[in-house]
Amino acid sequence: MLFAWHRMVTSGRSDLIEIGRYRTSQEPMQVVSGPIGGPKVHFEAPPSKQVPAEMKRFIAWFNRTTPKGAEPLPAITRAGIAHLYFDSIHPFEDGNGRLGRAISEKAIAQSFGQPLLTALATTILAHQKSYYEALERANRQTDVNTWLKWFADVALEAQRRTITQVEFLIAKTKLLDRLRGHINERQQEALMRMFREGPGGFKGGLSAGNYSTITGASPATTTRHLADLTEKGALVRTGERRHARYALNLARG
């Protein structure tokens, strides 16, 4: 399964030698930053020759800590340790972070016994700087409590993000259903562009200039379209004249 996942996440890559199999290079697997002449080594994984044995141990641990395994662990605990454990081995030439996050999501889904809608990977990447810092700290010590606290906080935030996203999609569907047949193609195009920004909304609010850029409408047409969308309850307006900004009216649906 991991080899299949690796082939998927590295699809189209021509710069990798080993795809769909563990790394074998004799060169150290390091995470570094800084100038070439004086790089800072944040992490060094076990040598490639140790990877098969380390992965055999990891997979055995992962399988025996499932809810029905010999040593079951709580969902978030298991997901957090699995990510750290896998990332510490760094078994592939590239893509280890993405696979580690996927393993975490799989671990949580196994605890519920079914696939889940979760924004865990997205939420982790929204805190990318602290994520890498937490991993680096955890790889320099044997105690995982600090890492698990960070991971648990992010997992709970991911749950809130998921609920928000689901509510957003429901509100989007309701709004578009209500407007079907009552707005023109340009208005539809502008609304869909706003929806693509997600629950956070269009950054800074949609202006008349934004509308013209998105749809190609003239200033006069833009004014009419925005007024019509506001009257129909699709948008809410704040400010006046050139300071007017528009947001989706999802509360009405």
For residue 252, the model assigns a pLDDT of: 63
Average pLDDT, rounded, for the chain: 92
Cβ distance 237 to 194 under 8 Å? no
Q: Which of 177, 197, 199 is nearest to 253 (CA)?
A: 177
Q: Which of 219, 220, 251, 221 is nearest to 234 (CA)?
A: 251
- 48 vs 179: CA distance, rounded Å: 58
Handedness of CA 166, 172, 174, 180 (dihedral sign): negative
For residue 1, the model assigns a pLDDT of: 95
Cβ distance 10 to 16 under 8 Å? yes
pTM attached to this predicted model = 0.78
Maximum separation of any 2 CA atoms in the chain, in Å = 70
For residue 119, the model assigns a pLDDT of: 86
Cα-trace Rg, the chain:
24
CATH numbers and ranges of domains, the chain: 2-162 (1.10.3290.10), 181-248 (1.10.10.10)
Those residues of the chain that have pLDDT short of 70 are 252-253
Please classify residue 176 by burial: count the beta carbons closer than 10 Å to its beta carbon, then call 0-12 exposed, 13-18 middle and 19+ buried. Answer: middle
